[in-house]
Amino acid sequence: MNNDKNHFTFLAMKNIRLYFVPVLLLVVLSACNPPNNSLIGTWKNNKGEILEFHKDQSALWLFDNDADGITDTFHLMYHANYEVEPIQVDLYDFETGPLAGVTMYGIVAFQGNSFKFDYEPGDSPDARPGDFDEAKTQTYIKQ
């Protein structure tokens, strides 16, 4: 009888290890890799604008000024809410330029290696577009 109990305990522990280790490995690997729909990285649109999102929620927005060959660079902060659809993105704390002190309330939808982005300046999230306006929406491609 005692032998049967030890054998059962051995089998139970073996089965727990058999299932626990792969699940633990999957959890660790998924925590190390950002989701496919993460803004983190460098993105460029067809107008020469570059958005570079960093893990610390800082970002750069670069504009090529073809008239004088100078690239305008704006340092800012961002917040992305991935829990809603479309994804909500706020761009704020612009350090310089015409957007200093302005918050841009936006929406994002990923499409493969790109995302479409529509935004409006405002004093509150009420300024955020409800859906994408074709005339204002820009598409950024992962670089």
Task: Give the residue numbers spanning the domain of 127.
Answer: 41-142
The H or E element that residue 114 is part of is: strand 114-122
**Model pLDDT for residues 39-68, shown as the tens digit of each residue:** 999 999 999 899 999 999 999 999 887 666
pLDDT digits (tens, 9 = 90+) for 17-39: 555 444 443 433 344 444 467 99
Same domain, 95 and 136: yes
pLDDT digit string, tens, across residues 106-135: 999 999 999 999 999 999 999 999 999 999
Same domain for 82 and 18: no
C-beta separation of 87 from 109 below 8 A: yes
Annotate 2-64 with three-state secondary structure.
HHHHHHHHHHHHHHHHHHHHHHHHHHHHHHHCCCCCCCCEEEECCCCCEEEECCCCEEEEEEE
CATH classification at residue 136: 2.40.128
The total of structural domains in the chain comes to: 2
With a cut of 60, say whether residue 4 has pLDDT above it: yes
